[in-house]
């Protein structure tokens, strides 16, 4: 893969659903772009906005936050906070001029290996169109 042209995506995945979903995609040998660097967190609500900003600051072209579907969070209501927190972040990034397609929040369950692949594929393609992320 051509390192220069390939978008780098930092993916924060919750342990109980989305990480398991990504794992399933792997063990089921579903072909998907290798662009996501995964960081496993216990719950999507663990992710502070700072983490997302830091990924961008350090050169990510896109950031993906993925957690259990609303209603399915392992800790009951963690992702209800995630949902609120990141809709604010996303709109704010847009306000300071960052293409909203660079930041995604997705709900992926442990059984949705296919969905994980589609998310990664979709995001990778969008980021290819957008080109490298330049902060300045």
Partner 1 sequence: MSDIEKNLRAEAKKLLEEKKVDYVIGYEESNGKVSPCFIDNAKDVEKLVFNPGCVHNLSVYLLEADAENKVGIVAKGCDSRAIIELIKQNQVIRDNVFILGISCDGVKDLLGKDYDKCKNCKYPVPLIYDVLLGEKKEGKEEDYSDVEEIESMSLEERKKFWNKQFEKCIKCHACRNICPLCYCEECALDDKNWVSKSHKFPEIWMSHLIRALHTAGRCVSCGECERACPVNIPLRKLYRKIGKDVKELFDYEAGVNAEDVPPLVAFDLDKDKEKIKQN
Q: Binding residues for ligand FES, per CB under 6 A?
A: 14, 16-17, 43-45, 67-68, 73-75, 78-79
The yes or no reply on residue 97 touching partner 1 (CB under 8 A) is yes
The item of ligand FES, partner 1, none sharing an interface with residue 81, based on CB under 5 to 8 Å by kind, is partner 1
The item of partner 1, ligand FES, none sharing an interface with residue 124, based on CB under 5 to 8 Å by kind, is none
Q: Which residue of 21, 43, 62, 85 would you call a contact of partner 1, by CB under 8 A? A: 85
Site string for partner 1, 11-50 (x = CB under 8 A): --------------------------------------xx
CA atoms 29, 30, 34, 36: torsion sign: negative
Q: Which residue has the tokens 């293409």?
A: 99
CB-nearer residue toward partner 1: 39 or 88 = 88
Mind spelling out the 3-state secondary structure of the chain?
A: CCCCCCCCEEEEEECCCHHHHHHHHHHCCCCCCCCEEEEEECCHHHCCHHHHHHHHHCCCCEEEEEECCCCCCCCCCHHHHHHHHHHHHHHHHHHCCCCHHHEEEEECCCCCHHHHHHHHHHHHHHHHHHCCCCCC
The yes or no reply on residue 70 touching partner 1 (CB under 8 A) is yes
CB-nearer residue toward partner 1: 28 or 54 = 54
The item of ligand FES, partner 1, none sharing an interface with residue 75, based on CB under 5 to 8 Å by kind, is ligand FES
Q: Which residues pair with 107 in a beta bridge?
A: 67
């Amino acid at each position: 893969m051509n390192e220069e042209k390939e978008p780098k995506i930092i993916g924060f995945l919750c342990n109980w659903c989305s990480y398991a979903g990504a794992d399933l995609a792997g063990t089921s040998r579903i072909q998907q772009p290798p662009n996501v660097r995964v960081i496993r967190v216990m719950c999507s609500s663990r992710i502070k906005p700072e983490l997302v900003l830091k990924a961008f600051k350090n050169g990510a072209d896109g950031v993906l936050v993925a957690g259990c579907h609303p209603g399915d969070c392992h800790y009951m209501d963690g992702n209800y906070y995630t949902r609120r927190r990141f809709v604010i972040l996303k709109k704010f990034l847009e306000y300071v001029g960052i293409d909203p397609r660079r930041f995604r929040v997705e709900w992926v369950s442990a059984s949705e290996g296919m969905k994980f692949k589609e998310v990664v594929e979709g995001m990778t393609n969008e980021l290819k169109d957008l080109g490298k992320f330049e902060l300045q």
